[in-house]
Amino acid sequence: MKETTPAAMPPCFEKWCQQFDDCWKNPAQKIGFRHYLGGLLGDSERKNRSQMANNSIGVVYNRLHHFIAHSPWKASIINQRRLEIINKRSQTKFKKGFSLILDDSGHRKSGNFTSGVGRQYIGEIGKTDNGIVTVTTHYYDGKKSFPLDLKLYQNSSSLPEGKDDKLFQKKPDIGIELIDSSLRRGHRPGIVLIDGGYGNNTTFLKKLEERELKYLGKIAKNRKIVVKQKSNEEIETRIDELSKSIPIEEFEQVILSLEKQKKVWVTTFTASTSRLFGERTFAIVMNASSVEEATEVDYFITNVEPSKATSEWIVNSYSNRNWIEVFYREAKGWLGLREYQVRDKWSLERHFILVFCAYTFIICHKLTGGLRRQWANKPLKTFTEALEAFRTAMSFRFFDWLANNRDVFASHRESLGYIWG
């Protein structure tokens, strides 16, 4: 059922919100937080403020707008508290050696009045279009995953002075800033997983190495490397050109354990590349046993020691990057990550962090088992199953509330232009 009311939210929701209470400056902010979070978690088809207010009895649109756009609070403080809450419980706390996934994701946005909007590559549609892009870091430890930090990427075309504007930051620079946020908290990853936009940026890789971080990332097919031959002669070549000269028998077959098993053929070798001192391990991964037959060929670089950076380790470790894609798909599809009614950078980031809070609420309760014990008769293995269990709790308590507040509900429907008879 789409309708709900803050007066009948499940107790676990209030307990979650209470953990943020000392981060707010006044009671209105505490209420705004509960109303906005409840709207994101609710069953509305759309997650913009108009729809959330219309579907929640006792929630006023203007107050939601003031909370997200004008009320004086910092998204960074709320996000910090969210991560502290995660780290308190044994089922959800950070583990040593986790994978930190860095990625950027975008969505279409028409017009040019919203911060960050410009013509740029939008990953979800696979082409350049008018839209917004955010850079995000994500946690994965083999059992659980959740978002860490986020920052809006402001395309140069969206800034008054373009690339010379003081607010302009390249995505790799934002990525380092977000990684540094994790390090300051004492959360040091075992590996940083990056796509080609970051892996092909040598300055970015050097900054990771300065921080003594291990990384595994894609590189472009035209990346030049220097390979030492058996005769000790050094040859500079493009990595895609090198792949054509490697004998078939040097490729090892590896089976990826994904939702559907996938066979790939991998070879690894050490080589050097410009502006990185010493050798790194490189890998070529194909979906066929020869370059001529392959329709997909990917190239990787890592500073992990060669004895550990085996073919199997590289493809299985990099496959963990999929967890950030899972998060984006769930946050956009179920929690309204791209459905906002604000224009400035700070309000946008507030909305994104509140979506992080809603997502983490469900993940934490899935891992601790509370939703399963009270609102489901089957194991809750996925985010969507846990969210549906929570929505069941919301509906159950709303119907119970409705039995004693029919006049309030009727007034609410009448205010929207409908009669409930």
Residues 67 and 107 placed together within one structural domain of the fold: no
> Would 304 be classed as within a structural domain?
yes
> Would 357 be classed as within a structural domain?
no
The pLDDT value recorded for residue 1 is 61
Residues 378 and 273 placed together within one structural domain of the fold: no
Residues 89 and 138 placed together within one structural domain of the fold: yes
Residues 119 and 255 placed together within one structural domain of the fold: no
Strand partners, 216: 193, 302
How far CA 284 is from CA of 301, 302, 310, 334, in Å, comes to: 9, 12, 12, 36
Contact assessment for residue 63 and residue 28, using Cβ atoms and an 8 Å cutoff: yes
Contacts of 27 (CB under 8 A, 6+ apart): none
Residues 85 and 189 placed together within one structural domain of the fold: yes
pTM of this structure: 0.94
The parent domain of residue 94 ranges over: 79-195+321-342
382 CB neighbour count, 10 Å cutoff: 12
The pLDDT value recorded for residue 87 is 96
Residues 59 and 157 placed together within one structural domain of the fold: no
Give the helix, strand, coil percentages of the chain, each rounded to 5.
45, 20, 35
Residues 327 and 389 placed together within one structural domain of the fold: no
> Would 141 be classed as within a structural domain?
yes
> Would 421 be classed as within a structural domain?
no
The pLDDT value recorded for residue 111 is 78
Residues 14 and 84 placed together within one structural domain of the fold: no
> Would 207 be classed as within a structural domain?
no
d(CA 399, CA 396): 5
Task: Give me the torsion for CA of 109, 112, 117, 121, rounded to 10°.
Answer: 70
Q: How many domains does the chain have?
A: 3
Mean pLDDT by 10 residues, the chain (421 residues): 89 97 97 97 89 93 95 97 96 96 91 84 84 96 96 89 90 98 97 96 98 98 92 90 94 86 94 95 96 95 97 96 95 93 92 98 94 90 95 94 91 84 65
Beta strands 118-122; 127-140: pairing state: antiparallel
The pLDDT value recorded for residue 126 is 81
Q: Report residue 128 as tokens.
A: 């350049």
Kindly calculate the radius of gyration of the chain based on its CA atoms and give it in whole angstroms: 24
The pLDDT value recorded for residue 260 is 78
